[in-house]
């Protein structure tokens, strides 16, 4: 094994965007497998990813969905672990997570595990990739699961987006067709399908086309030893496959919308496809172009004349291969589309030829990093280290307005629309060459630099003298092991009425500001819940107060726009999201004063001034706080809620509220969800055959820990779904939660990864701020952050006993916990 370059492990990690103190090493084994180990000392989880260089573009034309079916079939058992659902059971017992995904060129499986379970988890992951079992009866069942999934996803705009995208691809190319996979495209001959899965697996699942990536706190050398030992068992080499051909037809555009378009839902994607080899050799230059487009200037330019909720720039667009892409919303009409197109093309031309600064490496998302890295590795022969100077002029012809493709999710309106037979997607050609005039360019928001004294970093956390209108703390209760940024947090009471719309408008107002902040290494987070609204700013101290002041100036006292996030994802996912946003009972939420926290005492004066100004704004708006009374703003959780019709499936979710917001009860609910989830899936999907989605999930929102038991079915009626969930709880709730002391300790060890020291600076600040808000709402007499929130969580977890979990399960089965039904049925 050889290191891919001469740079050190820590420098390699820094170039790859990992946190300070990390080490990274990559190697290729004798069988052709690429392995990557990332040691991140502050990580609590060990993340494992197995990726294969095969996706739906590699499927045979007469068996669309085969790659997706193979991804599902990997979980039906392997030679070493033959039980179907064995991985789900094993991971669940250890408090971990797992998932898998198939896209156009890569299939990947990922696990999150406590570090102590890494070796066995890697053995199970490699065995399922190398030696899956394709028993025809189980394969036939999985085809029905894919059929139900396909029907369920007909309500998800993401499926229709990919279907419309195919209209921009060449005739005869695999990318032109839907590859979701269903009963019609796969057929119902289970023995034939099992044979085709075997052939497809033998051809593609070879070490030379695969990668294993691991990220976590284990030492780099231990990670590499495990990766090498288990990776060596994968089949050697790679069977040559025909090269993937260029998918795109001549530049053009497509307008589309789902068969039942959501009122007002609209979005515009502009993208410039790039040759893969050239894009790979110009990674830094392309990143610099993308950073210039996302520095706040383009967003400010567009917002000067139109509403703009979202402007995202990416080099990893979903379903587009190698491309530079912009996503913008909303785009309600042709005139707006033309103005955006002209303005974005002009901005890209300027960004492509101007002298660009090297983009700063943003803080790593530890969940996403190993998956993204693994997806870049299969089949690659050499990685080019960052920082090498390369000639970018060869890419300039690919970034002209003439090479732009356009994908417009248009509002449903009159006009001549075509319909795709398989998905029902409505579409029509849309010109991609702009006839509009680019808007006058505007500069990004200016963040003023303020001189500061040298930070001695000795401030002890304490509350400053109280003001009758607010409370303010200063100091750093905890530090990350690497350098902690300066932070400033402010919160104030607000009505829960119009909460979603108000936050949506606030985020719209701050879009250019958030982009300008990121370009300067700062972060801005705007949030709200039943306790009120808040903002968190963190990063370089010299611009911190300026960022906070500008963000407060953007806060709307009252929303004038509806919520701007159109529904996406499966209906069951949309219902589960309600657990994080719906208002809890007032006694759980607690009243909250205006409050602030600054990590550096030098910012205390500025924070006081901002809170004073905010208090004047709140008092000057008549009836602004009228909605904060318990009866008007925070309804009881009891009752039934109906989701507006958004698809053809029936969905039922039982929401169960925890007794209170203490760490003890949060952990008990987490444990109960773990004990119930696998059995609930088996009962609803396998034994009762109700549908594609059946899950038990734990969620929290503003002082209300809760569980959701959700089932989505293409055929069962609402009353049947409700009865199935109720039967499960009365018949199995207690038995599944009746653990021996040894079983309880094992599950608690699995949950330790949730309770440890924060993994990132962002997580540290967020946990401390929410702990302070909880402390203020509960009017706790003890000092805030005593103990630190993660220490309190760890202590509560260690003190749990099996009989407490059983008592909670009995209360749930007997209906003694507060509950509410969330339901959906077709029109």
Residue 636 pLDDT > 50, yes or no?
no
Tokens of 755: 């309770």
Residue 480 pLDDT > 70, yes or no?
no
Q: For residues 473 and 607, what is the distance between their CA atoms, to the nearest angstrom?
A: 10
Beta bridge partners of 463: 473
Residue 675 pLDDT > 80, yes or no?
yes
Predicted local distance difference test score (pLDDT) of residue 338: 94
Confidence of residue 620 (pLDDT cuts 50, 70, 90): confident
> Would you tell me how many other CB atoms lie within 10 Å of the CB of residue 461?
18
| Angle separating helix axes 718-736 and 802-813, nearest 10 degrees | 150
Beta bridge partners of 536: 489, 525
Predicted local distance difference test score (pLDDT) of residue 624: 62
Residue 225 pLDDT > 60, yes or no?
yes
Q: How far is CA 81 from CA 129, 132, 227, in A?
A: 12, 9, 19
Residue 804 pLDDT > 50, yes or no?
yes
**Average pLDDT score over residue span 84-95:** 85
pTM for the predicted model, two decimal places: 0.91
Nearest to 333 by CA among 430, 252, 199, 249: 430
Residue 222 pLDDT > 80, yes or no?
yes
Q: For residues 546 and 447, what is the distance between their CA atoms, to the nearest angstrom?
A: 6
Burial of 9 (0-12, 13-18, 19+ CB in 10 A): middle
Q: Which domains does the chain have, with CATH numbers?
A: 9-231 (3.30.830.10), 253-362+398-429 (3.30.830.10), 462-633 (3.30.830.10), 639-824 (3.30.830.10)
827 vs 751 pLDDT, higher one: 751
Q: Is 222 helix (H, G, I), strand (E, B) or coil?
A: helix
Contacts of 672 (CB under 8 A, 6+ apart): 707, 737, 805, 808, 809, 812
Contacts of 689 (CB under 8 A, 6+ apart): none
What confidence tens digit (pLDDT) does each residue in 97-131 have? 899 999 999 999 999 999 999 999 999 999 999 99
Predicted local distance difference test score (pLDDT) of residue 579: 87
Given the structure tokens 């990739």, which residue do they identify?
129
Predicted local distance difference test score (pLDDT) of residue 633: 31
Contacts of 355 (CB under 8 A, 6+ apart): none
Q: For residues 696 and 678, what is the distance between their CA atoms, to the nearest angstrom?
A: 8
Helix ranges, 232-329 (H) = 276-281, 283-293, 297-303
- Strands (DSSP E) contained in 520-643 are 523-529, 532-539, 594-598, 639-642
What confidence tens digit (pLDDT) does each residue in 398-456 have? 999 999 999 999 987 767 899 999 999 999 999 888 778 999 999 999 999 988 776 55
Sheet strand arrangement including 693-701: 639-642, 819-824, 650-657, 704-713, 693-701
Residue 609 pLDDT > 90, yes or no?
yes
Is the separation of the CB atoms in 627 and 568 below 8 Å? Answer: no
DSSP string, 197-215: HHHHHHHH--GGGEEEEEE
Nearest to 446 by CA among 346, 540, 519, 527: 519
Tokens of 153: 């996803």
Predicted local distance difference test score (pLDDT) of residue 368: 92
What confidence tens digit (pLDDT) does each residue in 159-171 have? 999 999 999 999 9
Percentage of the chain modeled with pLDDT above 90: 62
Predicted local distance difference test score (pLDDT) of residue 631: 32
**Average pLDDT score over residue span 664-690:** 91
> Would you tell me how many other CB atoms lie within 10 Å of the CB of residue 445?
22
Confidence of residue 312 (pLDDT cuts 50, 70, 90): very high
| Average predicted confidence (pLDDT) for the chain | 88
| Residue 7 DSSP class | S
Predicted local distance difference test score (pLDDT) of residue 646: 82
Sheet strand arrangement including 34-39: 23-28, 34-39, 210-216, 46-52, 107-113, 97-102
Given the structure tokens 């920082």, which residue do they identify?
387
| Peptide bond before residue 399 is cis, with ω within 30 degrees of 0 | no
Tokens of 725: 């969930």
Residue 700 pLDDT > 90, yes or no?
no
Contacts of 236 (CB under 8 A, 6+ apart): 31, 32, 206, 207, 208
Is the separation of the CB atoms in 276 and 300 below 8 Å? Answer: no
> Would you tell me how many other CB atoms lie within 10 Å of the CB of residue 334?
16
What confidence tens digit (pLDDT) does each residue in 38-81 have? 999 989 999 999 999 999 999 999 999 999 999 999 999 999 99
**Average pLDDT score over residue span 332-338:** 93
Q: For residues 252 and 254, what is the distance between their CA atoms, to the nearest angstrom?
A: 7
Is the separation of the CB atoms in 33 and 1 below 8 Å? Answer: no
Residue 380 pLDDT > 70, yes or no?
no
Q: For residues 247 and 553, what is the distance between their CA atoms, to the nearest angstrom?
A: 47
Nearest to 459 by CA among 607, 599, 595, 608: 599
Helix ranges, 446-591 (H) = 499-509, 511-519, 544-553, 571-578, 586-589
The three-state (H, E, C) secondary structure of 313-337, written as one string: EECCCCCCCCEEEEEEECCCCHHHH
Cα pseudo-dihedral 88, 93, 96, 97, rounded to 10: 20
Residue 803 pLDDT > 90, yes or no?
yes
DSSP string, 379-438: T---PPPTT-----GGGGGGGSGGG-EEEEEPPP-SS--EE-TTT--EEEE---S--S-P
Is the separation of the CB atoms in 522 and 423 below 8 Å? Answer: no
Tokens of 50: 């197995």
| Peptide bond before residue 330 is cis, with ω within 30 degrees of 0 | yes
Predicted local distance difference test score (pLDDT) of residue 311: 97
Is the separation of the CB atoms in 475 and 460 below 8 Å? Answer: yes
Nearest to 601 by CA among 488, 521, 524: 488
């Amino acid at each position: 094994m050889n290191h891919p370059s001469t740079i050190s492990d820590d420098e390699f990690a820094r170039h790859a965007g990992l946190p300070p103190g990390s080490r990274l090493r990559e190697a290729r084994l004798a069988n052709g497998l690429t392995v990557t180990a990332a040691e991140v000392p502050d990580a609590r989880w060990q993340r494992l990813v197995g990726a294969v260089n095969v996706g739906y573009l590699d499927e045979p034309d007469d068996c669309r969905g085969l790659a997706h079916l193979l991804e599902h079939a990997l979980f039906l058992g392997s030679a070493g672990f033959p039980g179907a659902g064995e991985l789900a059971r094993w991971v669940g017992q250890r408090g971990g997570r797992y998932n898998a995904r198939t896209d156009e060129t890569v299939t990947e499986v990922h696990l999150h595990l406590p570090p102590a379970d890494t070796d066995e988890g890697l053995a199970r992951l490699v065995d399922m990739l190398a030696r899956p079992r394709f028993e025809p009866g189980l394969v036939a069942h999985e085809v029905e699961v894919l059929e139900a999934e396909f029907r369920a996803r007909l309500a998800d705009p993401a499926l229709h987006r990919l279907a419309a995208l195919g209209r921009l691809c060449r005739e005869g190319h695999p990318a032109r067709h839907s590859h979701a996979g269903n009963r019609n495209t796969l057929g119902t001959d289970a023995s034939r399908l099992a044979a085709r899965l075997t052939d497809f697996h033998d051809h593609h699942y070879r070490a030379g086309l695969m990668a294993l990536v691991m990220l976590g706190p284990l030492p780099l050398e231990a990670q590499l030893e495990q990766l090498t030992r288990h990776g060596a068992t994968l089949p050697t080499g790679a069977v040559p496959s025909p090269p993937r051909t260029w998918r795109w037809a001549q530049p053009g555009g497509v307008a589309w919308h789902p068969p039942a378009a959501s009122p007002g839902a609209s979005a515009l994607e502009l993208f410039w496809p790039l040759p893969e080899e050239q894009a790979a050799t110009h990674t830094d230059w392309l990143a610099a172009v993308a950073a210039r487009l996302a520095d706040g200037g383009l967003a400010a330019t567009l917002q000067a004349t139109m509403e703009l909720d979202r402007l995202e720039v990416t080099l990893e667009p979903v379903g587009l291969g190698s491309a530079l892409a912009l996503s913008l919303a909303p785009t309600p009409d042709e005139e707006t589309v033309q103005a955006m197109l002209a303005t974005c093309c002009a901005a890209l031309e300027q960004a492509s030829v101007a002298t660009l600064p090297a983009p700063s490496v943003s803080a790593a998302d530890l969940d996403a990093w190993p998956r993204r890295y693994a997806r870049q590795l299969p089949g690659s022969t050499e990685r080019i280290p960052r920082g090498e100077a390369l000639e970018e002029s060869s890419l300039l012809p690919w970034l002209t307005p003439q090479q732009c493709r356009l994908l417009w999710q248009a509002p449903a309106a009159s006009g001549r629309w075509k319909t795709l037979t398989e998905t029902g997607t409505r579409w029509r050609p849309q010109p991609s060459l702009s006839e509009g005039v680019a808007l006058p360019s505007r500069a990004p928001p200016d963040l003023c630099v303020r001189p500061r004294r040298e930070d001695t970093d000795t401030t002890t956390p304490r509350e400053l003298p109280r003001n009758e209108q607010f409370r303010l703390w200063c100091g750093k209760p905890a530090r990350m092991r690497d350098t902690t940024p300066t932070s400033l947090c402010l919160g104030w009471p607000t009505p829960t009425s119009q909460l979603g719309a108000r936050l949506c408008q606030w985020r719209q107002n701050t879009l250019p500001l958030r982009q300008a902040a990121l370009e300067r290494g700062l972060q801005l987070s705007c949030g709200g819940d039943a306790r009120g609204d808040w903002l968190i700013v963190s990063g370089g101290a010299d611009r911190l107060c300026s960022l906070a002041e500008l963000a407060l100036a953007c806060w709307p006292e009252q929303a004038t726009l509806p919520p701007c996030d159109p529904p996406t994802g499966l209906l069951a996912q949309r219902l589960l999201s309600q657990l994080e946003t719906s208002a809890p009972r007032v006694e759980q939420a607690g009243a909250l004063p205006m409050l602030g926290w600054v990590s550096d005492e030098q910012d205390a004066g500025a924070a006081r001034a901002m809170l004073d100004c905010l208090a004047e704004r709140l008092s000057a708006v008549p009836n602004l706080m009228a909605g904060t009374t318990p009866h008007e703003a925070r309804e009881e959780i009891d009752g039934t809620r109906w989701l507006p019709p958004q698809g053809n499936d029936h969905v039922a979710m039982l929401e169960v509220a925890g007794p209170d917001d203490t760490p003890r009860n949060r952990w008990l609910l987490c444990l109960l969800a773990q004990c119930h989830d696998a059995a609930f899936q088996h009962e609803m999907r396998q034994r009762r055959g109700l549908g594609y989605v059946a899950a038990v999930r734990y969620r929290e929102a503003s002082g209300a820990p809760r569980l959701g038991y959700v089932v989505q079915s293409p055929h069962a009626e609402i009353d049947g779904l409700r009865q199935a969930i109720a039967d499960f709880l009365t018949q199995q709730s207690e038995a599944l939660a009746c653990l021996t002391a040894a079983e309880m300790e094992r599950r608690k060890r699995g949950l330790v990864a949730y309770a440890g020291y924060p993994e990132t600076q962002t997580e540290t600040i967020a946990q401390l701020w929410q702990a302070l808000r909880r402390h203020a709402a509960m009017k706790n007499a003890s000092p805030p952050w005593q103990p630190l929130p993660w220490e309190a969580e760890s202590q509560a977890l260690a003190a749990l006993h099996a009989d407490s979990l059983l008592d909670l399960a009995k209360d749930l089965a007997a209906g003694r916990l507060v509950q509410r039904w969330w339901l959906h049925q077709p029109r």
